[in-house]
A and B are shown apart, each in its own frame.
Chain A
Amino acid sequence: MSRTLSEAESKKLLESHGVQFLPEELVSGPDEAAAAAQRLGFPVVAKLCGDNIAHKTERGLVRLGLNSAEAVSAATRELLDAAVPGDSALGVLVAPMVDGDRELIAGANRDAQFGPTVLVGVGGVLAEAIEDVAVRLAPITPLDAREMVEQLGAQRLLGEFRGEPPVDVDVLVGILMALSAAVTEPLPDGSLIASVDLNPLIVHRGRPVPVDALVELADPGPGTAAGASGAATSGGGRR
């Protein structure tokens, strides 16, 4: 069984590899949430945060565009009420609301045949249908990262778009390099990252900003690269 880290823990781990997130606060109650929102500046988002919450949006556990202390308190109360025991809820994350018309995704995986990989793609609600992604084997070089971005089909989305400046490719390259390092290097306890999802990266005035993060750890398998089943059987060729 692999296990997922909470959003806060995921972000902390990725920050240690160089992914930059916006300042945010993990709070345990409505009053604390309102105070955090005051410090961060309105509008904010509030999200339930726990070890096992994978589909936050689908379950209504993300509240966007909260514009007042009252709204933040109310949302926090509702989120805590909505938590079920399986979520292993740790509290509520309060973060500045980021706006932008474009969304990207970035991630890392551990492929059964190729080992650690890094991915970048077009994000947003249509991402799965569009499937515009580029993958490379980790570790990657900055040039590999740049070529991943170049490879995407939606180049027009990356240029100037609806009055916003072009996507800052250097920032995106930095994020991909950090993901490459994260998925390549074992954690201090020896465990390995099975997957990382930065979904979405909201492009705010040209800058891709990761607003969510989900890290899944691989099982420490007996003596092998965890999660990578190297047992691909191939009978080889035939006529």
Chain B
Amino acid sequence: MRPALDPRSYRSLFEPEGVVVAGASTHPGKFGFVSLHNILANGYRGRVYATNRDGATVLGVECLRSLEELPEGAADLLFVCTPKAANEELLRVAASKGIGAAFLTTAGYGESGEQGRLDETALVDLAEDLGILLVGPNGQGVVSTPASLCAQIVAPYPPAGGISVASQSGNFVSSFLNWSCATGVGISRAVSAGNAAATGVPDLLRFYARDPASSVALAYIEGIEDGRAVAEAFGEVASEMPLVVLKGGATPGGARAAASHTGSLASDDRTFDGMCAQTGATRAASVEEAFEAAATFATQPLPTGNRVVVMTTAGGWGVVTADALTRHRDLELVPLPEDLRAGIDELLPPRWSRNNPVDLAGGETRDTIPQVLELIASHPEVDAVIHLGLGIQSNQARMMREGGFFGSEGDDPHGIQRIVAYHERQDERFAAAAAEVSERTGKPVLSATELAVAFPDNAGPAAVRRAGRLCYPSADRAVTALGHLVRRAEHLRRRAG
């Protein structure tokens, strides 16, 4: 029923050497303009063609009057913005030109009643006969950063990275890509499956599981037709790479909304939840939780246990984070090992908390934070670290820069420039140290501060991003993300061997 998973077809979709936009338009509001614009504007390095009945020039591209004019073998991916009536003939010509994949934005198929469903079935059969990988119809597009490809009718184009997205809803692709832009944790592939007529979310996930350019799969799912097939795909994928799933329609209210959105039948949420637990898929409750879980899998090592230590420069945050860790069923706020306490005693005046959370209580000097992080993370009875307090001094530095007393280069009327620079340098160091210690010890070290969203340019969060990591907007969100890592590690450990 589904086309076989031909790696060549997926290569046509994600790594095309040439792309044709069928139905390019001179009107900047039309899909046929926007998609061509987005392909051209984001650095795609392959050949770009477009078709337009009048042979117009769009965005500097001289359009072919018909796909017949395309040189054979010139393009691998057909991006379809033509009306329904044109599409069958278009696919036939595409196949004769050696095109391996077609993404259809065209609406009016399965989502629009009985005739649409019939037409969709005919289109799927035709694509299968022709050996073309059909994605959509009624989808928003495909993004593939390894090919610098942004073939979609919406923004944004994300930074490159390891997360690959498959979604039943196009706007969720955009949501995840927006989060990627905001956090700097990058995307590899992203596809909005539209009506998923021939290629569904499970098919895309299976491709990601074998794709060297993908390290984490992130899916939005709303309707489930064949639960067993989904479970099988989840199991296959989750055994290869982390699979994070956001499911719409988890509650009766959401299920009613899903029924009118995608015509999906409600499924028993407890059953879906159990299926995720069984297959090792990571289920997230919200879009930010889903993205942050995926971003954490993509940028932190998998822990080998659940013992967490909190390091903070401010007591209250430590207390609240201790609550969050204690409430979390999969994480342990580990009592501070005696030798670790003794080690930290050497570095700090006696007013530090002397327990977990490790609250430095203002006793730190220039090099203390990297040293304490190092001691904690390298202790054999610690599996993960949550690092709080990053960026506080740089926030004051920002106020001093902007407060009217800063002066200018070479003119420091109030003597504050040196300390501003010092604070910013220090927060950069701390962020870098957290990433470096994490890499060296192979343990997750998560830095969390709301400055990541309040003042994203703060030297601390900015340095976390430069290190390729996610700066968590709150300790609670860091705890939630870490919990997902620990659960997956435990799932794999229990099923190994």
Chain A residues packing against B (C-beta within 8 Å): 111-115, 117, 119, 133-137, 140, 143-144, 147-148, 151, 230, 232-239
Residues of chain B with a CB closer than 8 A to A148's CB = 274
Residues A237 and B263 in contact in the complex (CB < 8 Å), given A135-B273, A136-B277: no
Q: Which of B151-168 contact A (CB under 8 A)?
A: 167-168
Residues from 302 to 352 in B contacting A, C-beta threshold 8 Å: none
Contact status of A137 and B275, CB under 8 A, knowing A113-B265, A239-B170, A239-B171: yes
In the complex, the chain A residue whose C-beta lies closest to that of B495 is A143
| A237→B170 CA distance, assembly (Å) | 8
Query: Which residues of chain B have C-beta atoms less than 8 A from A115's C-beta?
Result: 227-228
Q: How many residues of B contact A (CB 8 A)?
A: 42
Docked-complex contact A235 and B263, CB < 8 angstroms: yes
Give a binary string over B265-279; 1 marks a CB under 8 Å from any A CB, 0 the rest.
101101111110110
The answer, yes or no, to whether B239 is at the interface (CB within 8 Å) is: no
Interface residues of B in 201-230 (CB under 8 A from A): 222-228
Query: Are B261 and A114 touching (Cβ within 8 A)?
Result: no
B residues 240-264 in Cβ contact with A at 8 Å: 261-264
Bound-state CA distance A196–B495 (Å) is 28
Whether the pair A237, B225 counts as a contact (CB closer than 8 A) is: no
B9 at the interface (CB under 8 A from A): no
Q: Establish whether residues A233 and B169, one from each chain, have CB atoms under 8 Å apart when the complex forms.
A: no
14 pairs from A and B in contact (CB 8 Å cutoff): A114-B227, A134-B274, A135-B273, A137-B274, A144-B278, A151-B277, A234-B225, A235-B111, A235-B263, A235-B264, A236-B262, A237-B194, A238-B169, A239-B138
B494 within 8 A of A: yes
Q: Does B196 make an interface contact (CB < 8 A)?
A: yes
Give chain B nearest CB distance to A150 CB in angstroms: 9
| B184: Cβ under 8 A from any A Cβ | no
B195 and A235 contacting across the interface, CB-CB below 8 Å: yes
Give the CA-CA distance A6 to B195 in the complex, in Å.
46
Contact A113 B278 (CB under 8 A): no
Q: Is the CB of A135 within 8 A of B110?
A: no
Q: A113-B267, A133-B270, A143-B494 are in contact. Are A232 and B195 (CB under 8 A)?
A: no
Contact A234:B271 (CB < 8 A) given known A114-B231, A144-B278, A147-B277: no
B36 on the A face (CB < 8 A): no
Determine the distance from Cα of A137 to Cα of B229 in the docked complex, in whole angstroms.
12
Contact of A232 among B169, B261, B265, B278 (CB under 8 A): B265
Query: B268 to A236, Cβ gap below 8 A?
Result: no
Q: Please, which residue of chain B has its CB at the minimum distance from the CB of A121? A: B270
A111 to B167, CA, bound (A): 24
What residue of chain B has the Cβ atom nearest to residue A237's Cβ?
Answer: B168
In the complex, A237→B258 CA distance in Å? 10
A contact residues around B261 at 8 Å (CB) = 238
* CB contact between B197 and one of A113, A133, A232, A236 (< 8 Å): that residue: A236
Report the minimum CB–CB distance from B433 to chain A (whole Å): 36
Of the candidates A112, A135, A238, which one forms a contact with B270 in the assembled complex, judged by CB atoms under 8 Å apart? A135
Q: Are B138's CB and A236's CB within 8 A?
A: yes
Q: How far is the CA of A140 from the CA of B264 in the complex (A)?
A: 27
With both beta carbons as reference points, the residue of chain B lying nearest to A116 in the complex is identified as: B228
B residues less than 8 Å from A136 (CB atoms)? 274-275, 277-278
Please tell me which one of the listed residues A117, A137, A147, A236 contacts residue B223 in the complex, with CB atoms under 8 A apart: A236
Checking A137, A230, A237 against B231 with a beta-carbon cut-off of 8 angstroms, the contacting residue is A137
Contacts of B275 in A (CB 8 A): 114, 136-137
A-B pairs with the 3 shortest C-beta distances?
Answer: A114-B227, A236-B195, A235-B263
Given A136-B277, A143-B494, A147-B277, are A235 and B271 neighbors across the interface (CB < 8 Å)?
A: no
B271 touches A137 (CB 8 A): yes
Partner of A234, one of B138, B170, B223, B268: B223
Contacts A113-B226, A232-B226 aside, 9 further interface pairs with beta carbons under 8 A come to A113-B267, A113-B271, A115-B228, A119-B270, A136-B277, A137-B275, A234-B265, A235-B195, A237-B194
Partner of A236, one of B110, B265, B272: B110
Closest to A150 in B: B329
Q: Is the CB of A113 within 8 A of B169?
A: no
- Min CB–CB distance A138 → chain B (angstroms): 10
* Residues on the A chain within 8 Å of B263, using CB: 233-235
A137-B268 Cα distance, complex, nearest whole Å: 12
Does B140 sit within 8 A of A, measured CB to CB? Answer: yes
Bound CA–CA A119/B270 (angstroms): 9
Most interface-central of B226, B227, B264 (chain A CB within 10 A): B227
